[in-house]
Structure 1
Amino acid sequence: MLDSLLSPSLPVVTGTPERPDSAVLYTPSLTQYIRRRTSTVTIGDVPMGSDYPIRVQSMTTVDTMDTKGSVEQAIRMIEAGCEYVRITAPSVKEAQNLENIRKELRVQGYTTPLVADIHFTPNAAELAARIVEKVRINPGNYADRKRFEFIDYTDDAYAAELERIRAKFLPLIRICKEYGTAMRIGTNHGSLSDRILSRYGDTPVGMVESALEFLRICEAENYYNITLSMKSSNPQVMVQAYRLLVQRLDEEGLKPYPLHLGVTEAGEAEDGRIKSALGIGTLLEDGIGDTVRVSLTEEPEREAPVARALIDRYTNRAASSTPIPAITKYPVNPFQYSRRITHEVVNFGGQNVPRVIADFSQIPVADVNVLHPIGHFYLPEPDKWRMNDLGADYIYTGSTPAQFMLPNGLKQILNYAAWQTLSDQVNTFPVLTTEEYMSARAGQVPVQARLNFVRTSLAELSDAFMNTVKNDTTVVLLVSTENAHAMPELRRLVVELMNRDITTPVVVLRNYPDIPEEDLPLYASTDVGGLLIDGLGDGVMLSSASPSVDELKRLNSLSFGILQAARTRITKTEYISCPSCGRTLFDLQETTARIRQRTDHLKGVKIGIMGCIVNGPGEMADADYGYVGIGRDKIALYRGQQVIKKSVPADRAVDELIELIREDSRWLEPSLETV
């Protein structure tokens, strides 16, 4: 039935993966769930690749020289679901102690493979490769020291640089071959070398080339026991880089290596989970990814369940989803963000930020206080409404109108039948079913003069409906799906509009009636964020199975959090905080909480909180300010990537950070509007 409703050039899926066009090689299918085929990497007795389940991993935060503490934490991680345990080895002494940690774990009956995390120190990597099952290197700093210098390389000078890298890298490759040790070549957006930045810029292209330089050396030595990663604290950049990496591997005829997925420095609590799910989930939807690490500023054993929840969503995805018509013409550039072109309808589409609609259809809007959870506050004195940065734009009240006058910054949406009974149809807006809309237009029945919401789905996109919508400048579509493969079906719907040159704004409507509470932010961030990251979507409306005032607050915050993580609507402070490791020089969780308490009202300000110099300043990427540990109880403060204050005592560092923000005239005192 779907095929008869959609354009004949876009056939229904028949079980064979489509290749939309030569520009989209990063996924076997844009509409089916098909896991990308990869080679197998041997990592102890837990192999990785498409012939095996997607693996879960995390990283210890205890000092690597603390053998007992490292072993105890590793056991907690393993029992929480980690299939690989990564441990930092910043110098030779830590690399040597990996042997003690490994031996003690084996004595206690734990055979989980260990991964040594290496930055800057090839000699530590070469030692660790003889001890543990896998070594992670960062191509941005394995053979380079970052000076933030632009160098105009000639081709010969660049080739000489590659030869220098080859000489430093070959010993590790040969040791890994001899000992059967796996390797991850792990690019980080924030720590690209000056060489890469000078030639390719701070881009996904530069990230991919950084890894390929090292990968080509490995292949020349016939060493293939390799995984790859493209991490960034910006999910948009991260997704684009992984897609481009897959495409480049294919184009160059390189092996289809397994991919390690992660959004680095995602942060803490729900914001960290939203950001992680948006990046990781978007790739998993298209069958990309063979191991997942969720980087939260929390205890590492708390990361594994989040990774497992993301992965488990795809265990039976192919069998549980409804077939979606294939895409053979894909009008989206998956490697570079560009927002879909839409026309403006009131404050939807065009150049407007995506809007948030709060679902009050199951909760009576009978008292002004019911709007507090969605950011609107009535103040009896001075008899005014105030709105904070998370103030919803619209409320949907179903068939029951609000019982009081709403604030000017909030508009009401009702079901069409209820809207028709109102005396004031100018300041409220109807939502029509597809059938109601077509009947109203055919019968010349009155609808709202400026804005009409039409709820529709992929199956309802008939030629007649799309032709009518195309010529109606008052419509905003509320698009939904019941398909388990939700994001690709909604993407398919928007692609159909784009291929027919329909510029009607689209609001993504997702309802989650039967999922665990802790999974809601992960699923919503994937389904909605996966569209936003490609510029598809002009608003969001989330619903769940338990309508309540508390749930309204949670869904509203989640909606704005997804928009923020996708970088499509900035409404709050953004924290780029590393998840901690054995290199960390202060309590990251406590410090992050303290900084957040003082600064979380600074809309649009990005603050990087890094435990050591390895993760700063480079890893802070696009942060406005940085708080970086440089020694015990010593902090360096950055403006962008420039150090401004060195060796600030930790007990004064937050105050000094705030003073730095004041100097730039970006400080605001907390007020009611920012609560």
Structure 2
Amino acid sequence: MNSVADLNFIKALKGKYCNSLNTYSRFVTREVNIGDIAMGAHHPIRIQSMTTTDTMDTLATVEQTIRMVDAGCEYVRITAPSIKEAQNLAEIKKELRNRGYNVPLIADIHFTPNAAELAARIVEKVRVNPGNYIDKKKFQQIDYTDSEYLQEVERIRQRFSPLVKICKEYGTAMRIGTNHGSLSDRIMSRYGDTPMGMVESAMEFIRICSDLDYHNLVISMKASNPKVMVQAYRMLVEKMVAEGMNYPLHLGVTEAGDGEDGRIKSAVGIGTLLEDGLGDTIRVSLTEEPEFEAPVASALAKRYEMRAKKLEMVAEEAIYQPEIILPNNFDPYSYQRRKTHEVLNVGGHNVPRVIVDLSKENIKDPFALSSIGYNYSALLDKYNLTEQTADFVFLGDALPSFSFPGNLKQIYNYGTWLNLEDKQNAHPLFNAEEYLKAENKDNWLNFVETDIKIFLESSDEVYNGFVDTLSKDKTVVLILSTQNIHGMAEQRQFIFDLLTQQLDVPVIIKRSYNKINDDDFMLYASTDIGALLTDGLTDGLWLQADGIATQTINSVAFGILQATRTRISKTEYISCPSCGRTLFDLQETTQLIRSRTDHLKGIKIGIMGCIVNGPGEMADADYGYVGTGPGVITLYKEKEVVKRNVPAENAVDELIDLIKEHGDWVEPAV
């Protein structure tokens, strides 16, 4: 990574734009007015969502919009795929105003400039997708000379400028929203399917707006893969800073899915960026009713409002703040897992490991292990392992009253471990001082936990001795915990320090949560751990949460690994949140497909409501199910159409037949 990129990435996270990697503050963007609700600058993070009704059904759209506003939406987006829908936005707006709702409306435009130009005279904001708005998307590779490429950009300028001038005249805001799955053939031919391609796709449109002195802009870089999304937003900020721009950022993970999976995936992508102080408005895309999206987005945003207030009350010296040095071997714009040496089955090329705390559980019989993926059969006197089976259990000082399965490794506090008669599959947990003084250690694997603040406040003897130990003892796995309000950034900086010192000790991130409900635990853990996994900085995770069921903790841990694509344990569904373009019951169909395919570990299935987001957004999927007409489905294998015009009543069976034809089907376990 070049020095300019280094400089601008740090600028985007500290200095002029943020205080540091270790205290939370937002990247300061320019203020953009959207109706009566401004975003950016020092305004709160705004919440928005999108209707799923037919835009031509005025009453249904109005009533759904009201439910969304009552659930916490500050902006509401409505699809306008053609002139007639754009015209009907006026009726929708009129009826909302008659009912006392002044919520700013956003018209969602993909292929039709004429509809966008009409909508810009009616609503408070229009969204255009650079990949679809003027450019074409037919999955064609085209070789452009530099001259030909510039001619295409000039063609875009001529066709896009009228919309910019209308927005400027009417005071209408605009979102330039790039989607990873809908990059144009022109961009794909020059930049490939990359974050850089996403950024350049948007920057072409942004530069046109800037040249026309129009700055009422919001920018987004959405992808169904949180890693790609995070890299693209970071690269966008670096690019904007280099060109003297600071437009507000709209955050969202596209086609995240539903239920726990959709929430975890959204939190990983959105939360990682919020942790870095990036983001001015949030849309959580779930394959559920849109009023269920706003509370999730609100919970994510509220955490950072609370954090900013808490940090004002914390003394500066109470927070670990070393000089911020980005390691030369870390690139924020591409994924590369930190290289560590292997200790037993931790680190090296092993998948990230999961530790679950059973120290407070009343373990009386083998069935107690079902919450962590070990299903015991009394009839056969054996365990069946699921794909979401924890790798280690922490027992502290508790001793189980039955024999654990042979592949389940246990962790005990050092003093208890010392007195075990049978140490097979049992490993000790030390604090740093204990480890330095201990005469008896495990020959294979020693966990050493250190809280960053306590560690840094320890004596020079302990600190220097421990650092020296990490460089020599190849049996140590570091458990890194934190008490910092901005804990993810503190843990990240500690790992940056390990990278700088070229210490390849494996690190497992531990996070503990108190006084928290299930929903917030899921979102917070996905953010805190997901951010580090997204950057390849950890070899495992250990979640603790008072009052949260062990089964939930274990499920969330594996869900985070799945969302970051660092450990695949189940089928992944890339399903859109539905909108007025949707051609079938997306929620019902998604659940039907899930019920018949959720045993296919590692397979990615795209379920798309219409052709607009279909081929593009599910380009990362192995198989695709796309609505292409009333009651008609098109099936894809990756990006290729395999079967067209399949009747909807037969389409799920046809999808399964397609999976079987390509050898990816296995029969579900009985």
TM-score range, shorter chain: over 0.9
Cα distance in 2 for residues equivalent to 1:123 and 1:20 = 42
Match of residue 326, structure 1, among 309, 322, 327: 322
Matched residue, 2:540: 539
Q: Root-mean-square deviation (CA), in Å?
A: 1.3
Cα distance in 2 for residues equivalent to 1:96 and 1:642 = 35
Contact 1:21 1:329 in 2 (8 A): no
Contact 2:584 2:627 in 1 (8 A): yes
**In structure 2, the residue corresponding to 1:648 is in which secondary structure?**
strand
What letter corresponds to residue 280 of structure 1 in structure 2?
Answer: I
Q: Cα distance, 1:22 vs. partner?
A: 5.2
Q: State TM-score, norm by structure 2.
A: 0.95
Q: Cα distance, 1:622 vs. partner?
A: 0.4
Matched residue, 1:171: 162
Q: State TM-score, norm by structure 1.
A: 0.94
> What per-residue deviation string (whole Å, max 9, x for no partner) do you get for residues 213-244 of structure 1?
11111111111110000000000000000000
Match of residue 398, structure 1, among 396, 399, 423: 396
> What per-residue deviation string (whole Å, max 9, x for no partner) do you get for residues 102-137 of structure 1?
000000111110000001110100000000000000
User: Is residue 2:498 matched to residue 1:491?
Assistant: no
What letter corresponds to residue 41 of structure 1 in structure 2?
Answer: V
User: Is residue 2:454 matched to residue 1:456?
Assistant: no
**In structure 2, the residue corresponding to 1:97 is in which secondary structure?**
helix
**In structure 2, the residue corresponding to 1:614 is in which secondary structure?**
coil
What letter corresponds to residue 435 of structure 2 in structure 1?
Answer: Y
User: Is residue 2:246 matched to residue 1:245?
Assistant: no
Matched residue, 2:380: 382
**In structure 1, the residue corresponding to 2:544 is in which secondary structure?**
strand
Match of residue 145, structure 1, among 136, 149, 166: 136
| Of 640-649 and 374-383, the range deviating more from structure 2 | 374-383
User: Is residue 2:600 matched to residue 1:602?
Assistant: yes
> What per-residue deviation string (whole Å, max 9, x for no partner) do you get for residues 269-300 of structure 1?
01100000001111111110000000000110
User: Is residue 2:208 matched to residue 1:207?
Assistant: no
Cα distance in 1 for residues equivalent to 2:157 and 2:532 = 40
Matched residue, 2:189: 198
Matched residue, 1:279: 269
Contact 1:327 1:492 in 2 (8 A): no
Matched residue, 2:294: 304
Cα distance in 1 for residues equivalent to 2:91 and 2:368 = 58
Cα distance in 2 for residues equivalent to 1:326 and 1:232 = 33
Q: Cα distance, 1:53 vs. partner?
A: 0.8
Q: Cα distance, 1:401 vs. partner?
A: 2.1
Matched residue, 1:256: 246
Cα distance in 1 for residues equivalent to 2:464 and 2:533 = 26
User: Is residue 2:147 matched to residue 1:156?
Assistant: yes
> What per-residue deviation string (whole Å, max 9, x for no partner) do you get for residues 539-561 of structure 1?
111111126xxx11111110000
Q: Cα distance, 1:373 vs. partner?
A: 1.4
Q: Cα distance, 1:163 vs. partner?
A: 1.1
Contact 1:430 1:448 in 2 (8 A): yes
Cα distance in 2 for residues equivalent to 1:302 and 1:22 = 37
Matched residue, 2:440: 446
Cα distance in 1 for residues equivalent to 2:11 and 2:574 = 31
> What per-residue deviation string (whole Å, max 9, x for no partner) do you get for residues 388-436 of structure 1?
1001111111101222221122111111111111011232001111221
- Structure 1 residue runs of 5 or longer lacking an equivalent are 1-18
Cα distance in 2 for residues equivalent to 1:578 and 1:626 = 12
What letter corresponds to residue 511 of structure 2 in structure 1?
Answer: R
Q: Cα distance, 1:364 vs. partner?
A: 2.6
Contact 2:21 2:324 in 1 (8 A): no
**In structure 2, the residue corresponding to 1:26 is in which secondary structure?**
helix
Q: Structure 1 143/639 Cα, relative in aligned 2: closer, same or farther at 3 Å?
A: same
Contact 2:408 2:425 in 1 (8 A): no
Cα distance in 2 for residues equivalent to 1:133 and 1:21 = 36
Matched residue, 2:175: 184
Matched residue, 1:13: none
Cα distance in 2 for residues equivalent to 1:564 and 1:308 = 24
| Of 402-411 and 610-619, the range deviating more from structure 2 | 402-411
Cα distance in 2 for residues equivalent to 1:129 and 1:327 = 47
Cα distance in 2 for residues equivalent to 1:333 and 1:631 = 44
Match of residue 255, structure 2, among 265, 268, 279: 265
Aligned length: 646
Q: Cα distance, 1:633 vs. partner?
A: 1.2
Contact 1:30 1:326 in 2 (8 A): no
Contact 1:228 1:257 in 2 (8 A): yes
Match of residue 628, structure 2, among 627, 630, 648: 630
> What per-residue deviation string (whole Å, max 9, x for no partner) do you get for residues 609-640 of structure 1?
00000011111130000000011111100000
Cα distance in 2 for residues equivalent to 1:24 and 1:140 = 30
Q: Cα distance, 1:319 vs. partner?
A: 4.1
- Structure 2 residue runs of 5 or longer lacking an equivalent are 15-19, 312-317, 457-462
Q: Cα distance, 1:330 vs. partner?
A: 1.1
Match of residue 57, structure 2, among 59, 66, 69: 66
Cα distance in 2 for residues equivalent to 1:43 and 1:427 = 60
**In structure 2, the residue corresponding to 1:120 is in which secondary structure?**
coil
Q: Structure 1 372/238 Cα, relative in aligned 2: closer, same or farther at 3 Å?
A: same
What letter corresponds to residue 281 of structure 2 in structure 1?
Answer: T
Matched residue, 1:111: 102
Contact 2:9 2:234 in 1 (8 A): no
